[in-house]
Every structure is written in structure tokens, then in C-alpha cells.
């Protein structure tokens, strides 16, 4: 480590907090970029608040990346549980395409060496045939505005980096879990902890997941590989898991019983159709796997932490969260 900082955008989010904590523990210099709030408060050393990367001035962006050796770009607009934007497509493009492009341009001006971009498995689609995971050379098939904005950002990164000395590393991620997780995973954890019966027992699928501990070590590998793993790669834990297996594993980590009911899939899908949640049920029942072998071959990275290890850490955090 040469002492030059790694810029981490989205440092206030789930993955960003885990990554900066990891960097702090391992001694890697970093500059954490967080979203500015309307309240003014002193920030810790090494933390920079920016109101919006899409609208920040060039001078502000240049200051963010000045003297940095690499950028890890985690900041994004992700799936929104309750959409409030009047134009969601424009909101996704501003946060995920424009902000990424402008940050990449600043990195090029600063002669940053590597740009690690957190993308999504959904760039390739919402499902895979069982036993046929996505590979980096598979054609993209994004199914929503979020995934399309991530694909557009990826293409802009590769276009801007062409013919330069900056190495773009694009990591397409599946569901990431661990302490601090939010969204659907946290909702599932809450349901299991409360002992609610879940109609998931008849599902037979395979889904890739990624523990945040494995993810931060993969980012280390992307930063430290002697030859940068340029281009697109998938990341995932060692083994895929079915939804019932994941439910039972979460329950075991919490020390409770998994109450699974074997509701036939056609009935589940009918309920989804009638309730307006068809897409959610299709995602829940389908397979979605990714092959991370290209990244492993390029960097030597292997996911060290098992699903059980990651879920125990998540359960410990969940208990602390609910004891407050």
C-alpha cells in the first residue's frame, strides 16, 4: 500500500460502511464520500460530504479524486420500495449514469489508476436456467430502469477508459447480505424472526448470493491485483442456495424455527398476479446464478466466508438493532 487514498463513494451505505471499516482494519488509506444532509455537522477525518455527484461542479469532483490511486464507486440509486420520483427513469439515469460518467471523467483528469464500479447481476436479466449461471460474455438483458441505467453506466466507463491508462473493473453483484443489510433481505429476516409462516417451501430454485465480507475482500483483490482485472466480472459466494435453504439458514442463525409452508407454485403465481406482485413472485421462485470464475482467475480471489458465517454475523447485528 503506497499511502495514496482509495476514494469510496456511497460510504454511508450498507456496503460502503462495511468497506471503509475493512479498510480501516487493514490499514488501507481511503477517502470516504458520503451524501450531504441538510444539517451541518463536523465530519470525521477522511470523510467528505457531497450533495449530488450528478450536479457537483468539476472543481468539487476534482477535489474528491485528487491524489487518489483508485476509486470504488458504490453510490447509486437502487431499487426503490415505494417510488416517489415523478420520472423514475430520469432519476435512475441521473444517479447511476450521469454521476458515474462525471466521476470517471474526474478520475481520468486526476490520472487515477483503477476505477472499481459496483454494478448488478440484473444487467443480464432476472433469471437463469438452473445450472446455467450468467457469464461475463453473455448478452445483457436488463429488465427494468435500474438495470438499464447500470448497463449504460458500464458502457460509458468502458468507452471513456478506452485508450487511457485507467483500468475499469466492473463487478456485477447478486443479492449482498451481511450486518447492516436493508431492503428485501432485512424484511425476510424480520419475518423469520417473528415466527411468521412463509409460503416458500415448494420453491426449487438456485440463487447466487454474496456475503459482504466476501465482497470487501474481492474489492481488495480488484485493487491489488498486479494486472488489473479490466472489464466485466460477476461475484458470488462459493455455492448457490435455494430460497427455502436460505430461509432455513437465516432461521438457524437466529436460533428460531423456519416455518415454511409448501404452497404450490401455480397458486403462488396466481396470488402474485391478483395482488399486482407478479414480478416479485417470479423473482422469488426463479433461479438467478452467476459464475465468478473469471474474477477468480484474474485476481486469485476466492470467497473465504461461508453462508452460515455471514448469516451469523447478520443475526448478531439484527439482535443489536432490535435491542435498542
What amino acid positions are annotated as catalytic residues? 146
What is the β-pairing status of strands 70-73 and 114-120? parallel
**Residue in the structure block whose three cell numbers are 481520468:** 108
Would you tell me how many other CB atoms lie within 10 Å of the CB of residue 91? 18
CA distance readout (Å), 53 to 15, 132, 167: 18, 37, 21
Is there a contact between 309 and 213 (Cβ–Cβ < 8 Å)?
yes
Query: In a 3-state reduction of DSSP, which class is residue 252?
Result: helix
Can you list the alpha helix ranges (DSSP code H) found in the chain?
14-26, 58-65, 88-92, 99-109, 145-161, 183-193, 212-224, 243-254, 265-275, 278-285, 293-299, 307-323
Amino acid at each position: 500500500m503506497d499511502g495514496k487514498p482509495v476514494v469510496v463513494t456511497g460510504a454511508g451505505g450498507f456496503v460502503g460502511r462495511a468497506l471503509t471499516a475493512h479498510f480501516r482494519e487493514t490499514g488501507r488509506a481511503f477517502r470516504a464520500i458520503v451524501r450531504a444532509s441538510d444539517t451541518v455537522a463536523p465530519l470525521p477525518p477522511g470523510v467528505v460530504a457531497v450533495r449530488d455527484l450528478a450536479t457537483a461542479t468539476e472543481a468539487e469532483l476534482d477535489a474528491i479524486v485528487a491524489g487518489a490511486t483508485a476509486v470504488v464507486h458504490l453510490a447509486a440509486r437502487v431499487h426503490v420500495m415505494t417510488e416517489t420520483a415523478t420520472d423514475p427513469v430520469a432519476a435512475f439515469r441521473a444517479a447511476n449514469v450521469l454521476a458515474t460518467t462525471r466521476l470517471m471523467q474526474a478520475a481520468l483528469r486526476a490520472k487515477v489508476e483503477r476505477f472499481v464500479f459496483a454494478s448488478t447481476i440484473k444487467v443480464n436479466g432476472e433469471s437463469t436456467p438452473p445450472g446455467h449461471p450468467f457469464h461475463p460474455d453473455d448478452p445483457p438483458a436488463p429488465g427494468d430502469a435500474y438495470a438499464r441505467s447500470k448497463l449504460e453506466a458500464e458502457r460509458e466507463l468502458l468507452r471513456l477508459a478506452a485508450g487511457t491508462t485507467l483500468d475499469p473493473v466492473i463487478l456485477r453483484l447478486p443479492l449482498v447480505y451481511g450486518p447492516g443489510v436493508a431492503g428485501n433481505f432485512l424484511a425476510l429476516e424480520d419475518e423469520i424472526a417473528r415466527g411468521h409462516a412463509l409460503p416458500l417451501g415448494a420453491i426449487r430454485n438456485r440463487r447466487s448470493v454474496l456475503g459482504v465480507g466476501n465482497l470487501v475482500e474481492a474489492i481488495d483483490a480488484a485493487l491489488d491485483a498486479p494486472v488489473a482485472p479490466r472489464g466485466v466480472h460477476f461475484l458470488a459466494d462459493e455455492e448457490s442456495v435455494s430460497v427455502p435453504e436460505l430461509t432455513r439458514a437465516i432461521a438457524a442463525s437466529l436460533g428460531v424455527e423456519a416455518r415454511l409452508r409448501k404452497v404450490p407454485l401455480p397458486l403462488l403465481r396466481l396470488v402474485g398476479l391478483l395482488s399486482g406482485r407478479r414480478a416479485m413472485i417470479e423473482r422469488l421462485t426463479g433461479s438467478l446464478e452467476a459464475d465468478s470464475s473469471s474474477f477468480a482467475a484474474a485476481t486469485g480471489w476466492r470467497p473465504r466466508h461461508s453462508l452460515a458465517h455471514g448469516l451469523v454475523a447478520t443475526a448478531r447485528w439484527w439482535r443489536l438493532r432490535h435491542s435498542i
